[in-house]
């Protein structure tokens, strides 16, 4: 109801595309062949090497590696921190998106640049940057280096843009008049938020949360300098994989990597399902 | 209305404080720490032989990765938008995979496939004189892997929006496929392409985890700029670490500023294209009826 034109465009989208898209011409077929060969060399073959190395080791090796106390502690820490970070992003990301879309103030364009800094900044620099403010030489006297708070901070830094950037365009399409209408009809601010904003934004927030979770469980670079990689305490899953690689234990490295791949794949499928449900609406 | 203003101001304050503490303040400290011992030390740190070499290598790798991803990205985007073929949806989903894969897993995957002694294809490649892992090709592949979807994600929506009318008109007026591509398609996706290239470049200059594994981190040979930062910091050469970080961070922020300056025009054209598509699609829908 909010924007009939938008839903109409969306509904027409596929039809229009179906008219525009054609069957492969011979030249396009050659192009597709080249693209697929390069994609296989770069992405598909190496990733299947990880999966096949895991299956060669068998279920027993996989399970044994995952349940090894230090690895299991790393997995638990990573997933737990990723969930915490994702929840924080859901709250603050939505808030930031709202301010970027609905608020007007001097310097808002600067804020747009700042939001994307964690995407563009090299991860190792991100770690160093946080260490400068929250490390041993902190100018404000807060030293969380080598603690679980450091892990949380690093993951929060690198995942900040996801929810903001998925919610922002949806909020931009959403007419502020609907919110005003609800309020003029006597709805409280909380009711307006719950009945108008949340249902409209929920799919975008979920998509952003999935991306942020996938990124958080796979993070490595920003944690290297900041978390100290203390076994059983601040060591995350990617660091465990790296240790296995350095010790030449490829079967174990592949096992943990496959677990991460599985979770990433799950996040992608979930995203696809969500975005299709939104398109249908 | 007063209540509205209160909510607005408090949200604005919370957001500004949050981003200030999490992003702005820490990032600004890099500049401060890099120049804490003066500009002379800063320049010395960067011109030191191995560091200068690392930056040179990073630049070469990034340029290669961006060129590969741009050519591949344009090709794949046109195929995904303009053609139908079995497995198109699957390919479209798989393209995004590199964004969700841990850099460490990327490194491991390349190692298992192309490792010199135990990799699937490594020994065969080495027999024909090509070393991938612990050499520049491996670093380029790792970098290309992690930044693969960036160009595609920018071009695909624009290609979808602009439709095929102009391309069909050009073809019907006698232009061949290459002329149509060069004169119609490329100018139409120009800004999205620039946007994607800048983002890929920023990402490529900063890759760390995947590169650390496939490069072997050999000083003066396969050590890239991000690896220098780690090594310097762990050797207690903090100022040197911050100096290299400053250059990398400055490149990243510069890329973002370029992209943000380009974006408004890009968004406008996209939204107007959307409007025209919406209005023109009404008669086309009536056509069959």
pLDDT in tens, A42-99: 999 999 999 999 988 888 889 999 899 999 999 999 999 999 999 999 999 999 999 9
Q: Which of A95-99, A165-169, B60-64, B275-279 has the lowest mean pLDDT?
A: B275-279
CA distance linking residue B68 with residue A6, whole number of Å: 36
B174-182, Cβ contacts within 8 angstroms, sequence gap of 24 or more:
B177/A27
Higher pLDDT, B278 or A163: A163
3-state secondary structure of A22: strand
Give the model confidence (pLDDT) of A201-245 as tens digits.
888 888 888 889 989 999 999 998 888 888 888 999 999 999 999
The residue ranges of every structural domain in chain A are 59-280
Question: Looking at domain A59-280, which of 1.10.357.10, 1.10.3720.10, 1.10.287.1080, 1.10.10.60 is its CATH number?
Answer: 1.10.3720.10
Does residue B202 have a pLDDT over 50?
A: yes
Name the 3-class secondary structure at B83. Answer: strand
Q: Which residues of A237-265 are buried (b: 16+ CB within 10 A; e: fewer)?
A: bbbbbbbbbeeeebbbbbbbbbbbbebbb
pLDDT in the model for residue A36: 92
For an interface test with A, which of B58, B100, B137, B249 has the most A Cβ atoms less than 10 Å from its Cβ?
B100
Residue A19 burial (CB count, 10 A): 12
CB within 8 Å of A272: residues ≥ 6 apart: B93
- State the nearest Cα–Cα gap between B285 and chain A, in angstroms: 9
Cross-chain CB nearest to A32 (options B7, B85, B256): B85
pLDDT at residue A33, rounded to an integer:
92
CB contact under 8 A, A22 and B145: no
Q: Do residues B114 and B125 lie in contact, with contact meaning Cβ atoms separated by under 8 Å?
A: yes
The mean of the pLDDT values for chain A is 84
Residues 6 or more apart in contact with residue A4 via CB below 8 angstroms: none
Q: Inter-chain contact B226–A125, Cβ cutoff 8 Å?
A: yes
Query: Is-contact A119 A161, C-beta < 8 A?
Result: yes
Check residue A47 and give its pLDDT: 92
**Cα A109 from Cα A115, distance rounded (Å):** 10
Q: What is the DSSP letter of B101?
A: S
Whether the predicted pLDDT of A7 surpasses 60: no
| pLDDT band, residue B286 (cuts 50/70/90) | very low
C-alpha–C-alpha distance, residues A218 and A268, integer Å: 14
Minimal-distance CA residue of chain B relative to A266: B100
What pLDDT is stored for residue A17 in this prediction? 43
Overall average pLDDT of the A152-177 stretch: 91
Closest by Cβ to B209, choosing from A99, A123, A129: A123
- What's the CATH fold of domain B33-275? MetI-like fold (1.10.3720)
The H or E element containing residue B274 is: helix B238-286
The span from the CA of B129 to the CA of B145, in Å, is 23
Q: With CB atoms and an 8 Å threshold, state whether B97 touches A47.
A: yes
Nearest to A214 by CA among A271, A144, A152: A271
Alpha carbon distance A258, A236 (integer Å): 15
* Whole-number Å distance between alpha carbons of A137 and B238: 11
Of A135-139, B2-6, B27-31, B217-221, where does mean pLDDT reach its minimum?
A: B2-6
In degrees, to the nearest 5, what angle opens at C-alpha B197 toward C-alphas B249 and A89? 55
**Residue B240 CA to its chain's centroid (Å):** 26
Calpha distance B229→A132 (Å, rounded): 14
- The owner of tokens 């942020």 is A212
Q: Does A9 have pLDDT greater than 70?
A: no
Q: Evaluate if residue B289 carries a pLDDT over 70.
A: no
Nearest-Cα distance to chain B for A117, in Å, is 7
Neighbouring C-beta atoms of residue B288, cutoff 10 Å: 5
pLDDT value at position B2?
A: 60
pLDDT per residue as tens digits for the range B28-45 = 999 888 998 888 889 988
A159 closest CA partner among A210, A194, A197:
A210
Query: Is-contact B265 B191, C-beta < 8 A?
Result: yes
pLDDT tens-digit map of B249-285? 999 999 988 888 877 544 443 333 333 333 333 333 3
- Cβ separation of A122 and B252 shorter than 8 Å? yes
Other beta carbons within 10 angstroms of residue A97's beta carbon come to 26
Residue A268 pLDDT greater than 80, yes or no: no
* Mean residue pLDDT across chain B: 84
- Report which of A151, A154, A165, A156 is spatially closest to residue A85, judged by C-alpha positions: A156
Looking at residue A281, its pLDDT comes to: 57
Spell out which residues of chain A touch residue B108, defining contact as CB-CB under 8 Å: 50, 241, 245, 250, 253-254, 257
The ipTM (two decimal places) reads 0.84
Question: In angstroms, rounded to a whole number, what is the distance separating the alpha carbons of residues A272 and A274?
Answer: 5
Cβ-nearest to A268 among B84, B100, B252: B100
Cα-trace Rg, chain A:
23
Q: How many helices (H) and strands (E) does chain B have?
A: 16, 1
Task: Give me the residue from A20, A95, A123 closest to B208, CB to CB.
Answer: A123
């Amino acid at each position: 109801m909010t924007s009939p034109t938008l839903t109409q465009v969306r509904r027409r989208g596929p039809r229009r595309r179906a008219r525009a898209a054609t069957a492969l011409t011979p030249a396009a077929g050659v192009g597709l062949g080249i693209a697929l060969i390069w994609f296989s060399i770069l992405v598909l073959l190496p990733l299947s090497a990880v999966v096949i190395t895991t299956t060669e080791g068998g279920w027993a090796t996989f399970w044994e590696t995952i349940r090894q106390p230090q690895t299991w502690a790393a997995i638990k820490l990573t997933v737990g921190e990723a969930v915490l970070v994702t929840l924080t992003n859901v709250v603050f990301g939505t808030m930031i998106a709202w301010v970027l879309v609905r608020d007007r103030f001097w310097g808002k364009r600067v804020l747009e640049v700042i939001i994307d800094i964690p995407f563009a900044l090299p991860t190792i620099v991100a770690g160093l940057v946080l260490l400068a403010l929250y490390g041993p030489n902190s100018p404000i006297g807060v030293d969380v280096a080598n603690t679980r708070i450091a892990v949380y901070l690093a993951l929060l830094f690198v995942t900040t843009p996801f929810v903001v950037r998925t919610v922002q365009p949806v909020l931009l399409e959403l007419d502020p008049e609907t919110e005003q209408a609800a309020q003029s009809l006597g709805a409280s601010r909380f009711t307006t938020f719950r009945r108008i904003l949340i249902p409209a934004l929920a799919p975008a927030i979920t998509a952003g949360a999935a991306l942020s979770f996938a990124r958080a469980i796979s993070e490595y670079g920003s944690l290297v300098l900041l978390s100290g990689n203390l076994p059983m305490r601040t060591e995350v899953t990617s660091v465990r994989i790296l240790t296995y690689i350095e010790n030449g234990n490829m079967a174990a490295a592949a096992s943990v990597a496959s677990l991460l791949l599985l979770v990433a794949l799950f996040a992608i499928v979930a995203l696809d399902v969500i975005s299709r449900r939104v398109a249908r609406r | 209305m007063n209540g509205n203003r209160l909510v607005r101001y408090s949200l604005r304050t919370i957001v500004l404080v949050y981003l200030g503490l999490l992003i702005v303040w820490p990032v600004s400290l890099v500049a401060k720490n890099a120049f804490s011992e003066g500009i002379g030390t800063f320049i010395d740190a960067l011109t030191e032989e191995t560091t200068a070499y690392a930056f040179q290598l990073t630049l070469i790798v990034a340029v290669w990765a961006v060129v590969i991803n741009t050519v591949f990205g344009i090709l794949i985007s046109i195929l995904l938008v303009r053609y139908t073929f079995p497995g198109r949806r699957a390919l479209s989903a798989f393209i995004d995979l590199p964004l969700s894969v841990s850099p460490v897993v990327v490194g491991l995957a390349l190692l298992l496939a192309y490792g010199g002694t135990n990799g699937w294809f490594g020994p065969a490649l080495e027999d024909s004189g090509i070393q991938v892992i612990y050499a520049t090709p491996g670093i380029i592949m790792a970098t290309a892997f992690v930044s693969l979807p960036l160009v595609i994600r920018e071009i695909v929506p624009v290609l979808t929006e602009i439709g095929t009318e102009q391309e069909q008109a050009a073809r019907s007026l006698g232009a061949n496929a290459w002329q149509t591509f060069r004169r119609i398609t490329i100018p139409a996706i120009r800004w999205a392409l620039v946007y994607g290239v800048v983002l890929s470049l920023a990402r490529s200059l900063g890759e760390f985890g995947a590169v650390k594994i496939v490069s072997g981190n050999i000083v003066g040979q396969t050590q890239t700029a991000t690896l220098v930062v780690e090594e310097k910091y762990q050797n207690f050469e903090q100022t040197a670490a911050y100096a290299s970080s400053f250059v990398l961070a400055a490149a990243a922020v510069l890329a973002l500023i370029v992209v943000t300056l380009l974006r408004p025009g890009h968004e406008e054209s996209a939204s107007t294209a959307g409007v025209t598509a919406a209005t023109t699609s009404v008669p086309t829908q009536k056509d069959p009826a």
